[in-house]
Amino acid sequence: MADDIPDHEIIQLYKKLGDLSLIGKLFTRYTSLVYGVCLKYLKDREASKDAVMQIFEKLISSLKNHEVENFKGWLYVTARNYCLMELRSKKGKFTEEISATIVENDLLLHHELESDLEEDLAKMEECINKLIDGQQQCVRLFYLEEKSYREIVLITNLEMNQVKSFIQNGKRNLKICMEENG
């Protein structure tokens, strides 16, 4: 397929055939644009690379549901909105170093909280064990062992998209299970 086919024709072909290689062609054309937008807003190279992948994954379904006249402009706005949503979701969330002595003293002062915490951890472990194997493995590596997406890909020999999907779906299923079990 020639590289000079206009975007709107590629989109029409994709809608008709569902061929993901057509999305790949758009990805190749506009990766730099999307990465630049993400880097501008997120100001973090790794987060921007992850965002580029997430945005192009969303194209698979978005292009089937939307009529896009000017793909480049639409993609720019889509990337910008994605980044703004990411920033908004992280707004107000901050991390702070907490010394072990403060945590220990707090738990000693509140014994009932300690037993609640143990119960919650036991329920969480039960729920993790109920996840399907791929979700279970990826959730453990990501949240409990604090491995990055790339490290999980290397450990599991899964593809990046599979790892992200397992983590996202596993997190959702874990939350549902925890809510059902009080």
| Statement: residue 102 has pLDDT above 70 | no
Same domain membership, residue 32 and residue 61: yes
What domain count does the chain have?
2
pLDDT value at residue 126: 85
Provide the token pair at 163: 């790892």
- Provide the 10 A C-beta neighbour count for residue 138: 28
**Statement to judge: residues 80 and 115 lie in one domain:** no
Give yes or no for a contact between 157 and 139, defined as CB atoms under 8 angstroms apart: no
Region 151-177: what's the mean pLDDT?
A: 91
* pLDDT tens digits along 34-46: 999 999 989 989 9
Cβ neighbours, 10 Å, residue 174: 19
For 30, 35, 39, 41, 165, the CA distances from 84, given in Å and listed in that order, are: 19, 14, 12, 7, 22
CATH code of 74's domain? 1.10.1740.10
Q: Per the domain annotation, does 21 fall within a domain?
A: yes
CATH number at residue 153: 1.10.10.10
pTM over cut 0.75: no
Residue 60 scores a pLDDT above 90? no
**pLDDT band for position 152 (50/70/90)?**
very high
- Tokens read off for 41: 């807003």
Domain that holds residue 160: 111-180
Determine the pLDDT at residue 181. Answer: 78
User: Does residue 61 sit within a domain?
Assistant: yes
Among residues 76, 83, 75, 74, the alpha carbon closest in space to that of 39 is found at 83
110: phi then psi, degrees, rounded to nearest 5: -130, 75
- Using pLDDT thresholds of 50, 70 and 90, give the confidence band for residue 157: very high
